Amino acid sequence: MSISRLTIESFRNLSSAQLSPGDGLNLIYGANGSGKTSVLEAIYFLGMGRSFRSHITQRVIQREADQLTLFAQLQQEHPAQGSKVGFRKHRNGDTDVKIDGSRVKRLSVLAETLPIQVITPESFSLLFEGPQSRRQFIDWGTFHADANFYPAWVNVRRIMKQRNQLLRDGASYQQIQYWDNELVRYAEPVTEARKRYVDSLNERLKGIIEEFLPQVQLKISFTRGWDSKTDLNQLLEQQYLRDLGMGHTVSGPHKADLRLRVANLPAQDALSRGQLKLLVCALRIAQGRLLRQQTGKNSIYLVDDLPSELDAQHRQLLLKQLTDTGAQIFVTAIEPAAIVDCLHIAPSRVFHVEQGLVTQIEHTMRE
């Protein structure tokens, strides 16, 4: 899947931009504050219905504008998949999403239509921050890999909300027991699907890690969110008083995580910043490759400020791995040479951004 036409209106400092990206690598360059990240953010918005920079979506609407509008014309692997995606968000929160002219209520449909992998200088949070970003990473892949996952996951979320509300209301265990039985029912398919996904991902990851981080002995394991030797129903009963005191459920599938260890240390303590960036890239590339193998779909890669933290050799390696996926890629850089000099093929398209204006430029590779 790739974007062949993209229109962005009133999105951050981009008043009105039209791009005709190429199938391969699209390079977006420009000075600080010109709007490069905003272009990637707009594409991400189309696929995910939210930003990767701000939790407050209203902030992405251009100052003084009432609404933002995004549109993408897609080239899909299967003709049955949507080919026109439109997104409009009003300052009052109203959102209008259309695929091929039909209104879409669930944002998950967007994710299915436009699978997106994003790598930003802040992607380190995948490794550093609490388990939420790692869990989102697992769930992104599991969502695409297993059609039964999403409905079960929606139920887990719903039940967990109910259970936590009851805990905050000081409910007795008898009142909560019904929800525990329900939770256990959906926790199993969610956990099994996640486990299967992480196993397949591990297989895919090995070769990429060997190239990116040849000396690194990386160990990745999935943790389900509660002690695997304990029956979840029993555990919820045992931990009822504790949960009541805390006002939320301490253990369960909502606490699933991915453990990344190098030489028996957490990866973030054992690797340099450049190596961590490569690890995050390896995880994303493995995920994209697996998606393609499992569903035939290509993800779109958004790589913000690709050159930062990486030496020329590793930039080269990363760009090669990315272009070898066969996916459409958008990379940003301040100086185009930082990318072009490390590419073994010419970029499909080059765009220059200046004060919110995006211009496609003719580009010839240096000899």
Binding site for Mg ion (CB under 5 A): 37
CB of 321 to ligand ATP, least distance (A): 23
For residues 36 and 297, which CB has a smaller minimum distance to ligand ATP in the complex?
36
Which residue is it, tokens 């990344």? 260
Cα atoms in the Cβ-side hemisphere of radius 13 Å centred on 330:
27
CB of 115 to ligand ATP, least distance (A): 23
Concatenated DSSP letters of 279-314: HHHHHHHHHHHHHHHHHSPPPEEEETTTTTT--HHH
**From candidates 2, 62, 142, 298, binder to ligand ATP by CB under 6 A:** 62
CB of 36 to ligand ATP, least distance (A): 4
Residue 254 in the binding site for ligand ATP (CB under 6 A) = no
For ligand ATP, how many residues bind (rule: CB under 6 A)? Answer: 16
For residues 36 and 254, which CB has a smaller minimum distance to ligand ATP in the complex?
36
Residue 229 in the binding site for ligand ATP (CB under 6 A) = no
Residues 29-58 that bind ligand ATP (CB under 6 A): 30, 32-38
Task: Give the integer Cα–Cα distance in Å for 9 and 250.
Answer: 43
Task: Give the integer Cα–Cα distance in Å for 58 and 15.
Answer: 15
Task: Give the integer Cα–Cα distance in Å for 308 and 331.
Answer: 12
For residues 213 and 333, which CB has a smaller minimum distance to ligand ATP in the complex?
333
CB 231 within 8 A of CB 260: no
Residue 111 in the binding site for ligand ATP (CB under 6 A) = no
For the purposes of burial, counting CB atoms within 10 Å of the CB of 191, is it exposed (0-12), middle (13-18) or buried (19 or more)? buried
Output the six-digit token pair for 2: 């790739």
Residue 334 in the binding site for ligand ATP (CB under 6 A) = yes
- Amino acid (1-letter code) at residue 283: L
CB of 330 to ligand ATP, least distance (A): 12
For residues 37 and 251, which CB has a smaller minimum distance to Mg ion in the complex?
37
Residues at the contact surface with ligand ATP, assessed by CB under 6 A = 12-13, 30, 32-38, 59-63, 334
